[in-house]
Amino acid sequence: MSGIVYLVGAGPGDSRLITLKAVDCLKKAQVVVYDHLADDRILRWAPAEAELIYVGKVSANHTMKQEDISRLLVEKAKENKCVVRLKGGDPFVFGRGGEEALLLAEHQIPFEIVPGVTSAISVPAYAGIPVTQRHMAVSFAVVTGHEDPAKAASAVRWDKLATAVDTLVFLMGVENLPHITGQLIAHGRAADTPAAVIRWGTKPEQETLVTTLGKAASAVKAAGLKPPAIFVVGDVVNLREKIGWFDAPATRPLFGTTVLVTRARAQASQLTKKLDALGARCIELPAIKIAPPPDAYEAVDAAIQRIADYDWLIFTSTNGVDAFFARLFAAGKDVRSLAKARLAAIGKSTSKRLKVYGLHADLMPGEFRAEGILSALKGELAPGARVLIPRALEAREILPDSLRQYGAAVDVVPVYETVTEQDDPAAVREMLAAGEIDFVTFASSSTVKNLVKLLGDAALLKKAKIIAIGPITAETCEILGLKPTAVAKEYTIDGMVSAIREHRG
């Protein structure tokens, strides 16, 4: 008995260009065999227990030969496993998916082809270059640029290709550019034909060099452009000047800016999405992980059993909201149990999270920290009022201590703790040392402490601009020898994004 193999196209680079069917395949994968050009974030769709096997090929550096990759797919399928072969672009556009499919068919192993968005069309599109255009280009060809120029006989019909097609798109052709341009010109394509080289297409680090066919090789050498890149030849290249959008400052003002996002993995996407939309390149290195408290919820569970006794519930974070309601529901109760209590929330995000559970905060101060809610509560608390604060294990004591001074009976129950994430920081450490990261974002004091612990050296962060979500986080930075470039004027994710835009320089 054998499993099944899905030959899946991962798209050209932007992880959001993956298809819904590809995501469905990844979600049920037991084994994922993936290439170099697949965006790493795509792998998050695979189950945590899935076996991930990297077989990427970079120019002449092959982790595994194609024949071995094909045999690997057969072997894993024969173990009765669901295998996803994840390829950059489309499996059948110079992806050698046909070779893999033939071997699977030979061994009578079930397989499916899941087409992907090919870089041959999408990368020029992201550069503002349509491969066809009415009255300008009615045909296009996709050609391998990887053919060895030293071969005795070329498989490319240069004499036919050079002038028969309006737009030519060469994949993996940067290293062979002198040969490609020379052949096209020798067989009749005009040297002044517009041309473009696009590196890391569809990704935030995309670079586009507009030139001509005759000058392309020398221009690429002068600019130092390296693979992966594609080469486009044709009059359509001139349209980039009018319809280039991906790197346009007016709509994507953070294009070319690299931002390190340190929030917990489950929360990082919120900040990343907002920055992505503005053109930034986001590097995610979660500094913290949300974990259960050491007492395994003993304190909060006890408080929930007497929930009707509390006059106020104060929520200090979205994590606290989610963790509290998870325990409330686990106890067989629902929001009706909170009928007596009034609710206070620190910050817009916390208040918004309460609405997910059908609840509206009775009190949300204008200042999104403990001092703000203390000021707002001062005239609201009746003598002897009972207050419950579900929060992180480690937090400032100013809120419960001050409430007790006001005469309240306060119970603080930890519903989660933040621990250091275990991701390998080596790549980020190198980028920081080289000055390749423009901004580092900190959304809490714990992200500051744990990132420094993860990196092992706070000095690595001094080449980047540091954005803190609020004054408490900024104070933690200062204690650790880091001077924030800016503190968000509004202590929210949107406030951090605004600070990055303001200080991009």
User: CA-based Rg of the chain, rounded to a whole angstrom?
Assistant: 28
Active site (annotated) includes residue 172: yes
Q: What sign does the dihedral 45-48-52-58 (CA atoms) show? A: positive
Q: What are phi and psi of 135, to 5 degrees?
A: 70, 5
Hey, which residues does 84 pair with through a beta bridge?
Answer: 6, 32
192 an active-site residue? no
What one-character DSSP code corresponds to residue 174? G
Rounded distance between C-alpha atoms, residue 119 and residue 110, angstroms: 27
Size of the chain in residues:
505
Sheet holding 312-315, edge to edge: 288-291, 409-420, 386-392, 312-315, 342-345
Catalytic site includes residue 57: yes
Active-site option among 39, 87, 172, 465 = 172
What element of type H or E holds 502? helix 493-502
Question: One of 57, 87, 449, 465 is an active-site residue; which one?
Answer: 57
Active-site choice (14, 35, 39, 90): 35
- Residue 342's beta-bridge partner residues? 312
Q: What is the 3-state secondary structure (H, E, C) of 200-265?
A: CCCCCCCEEEEEECCCHHHHHHHHCCCCCEEEEECHHHHHHHHHCCCCCCCCCCCCCCEEEECCCH
Q: Which amino acid is at 217?
A: A
Pairing of β 342-345 and β 312-315:
parallel
User: DSSP strand E in 73-139: where?
Assistant: 82-87, 111-114
How far apart CA 337 and CA 80 sit, in angstroms, is: 49
**Residues taking part in catalysis:** 35, 57, 172
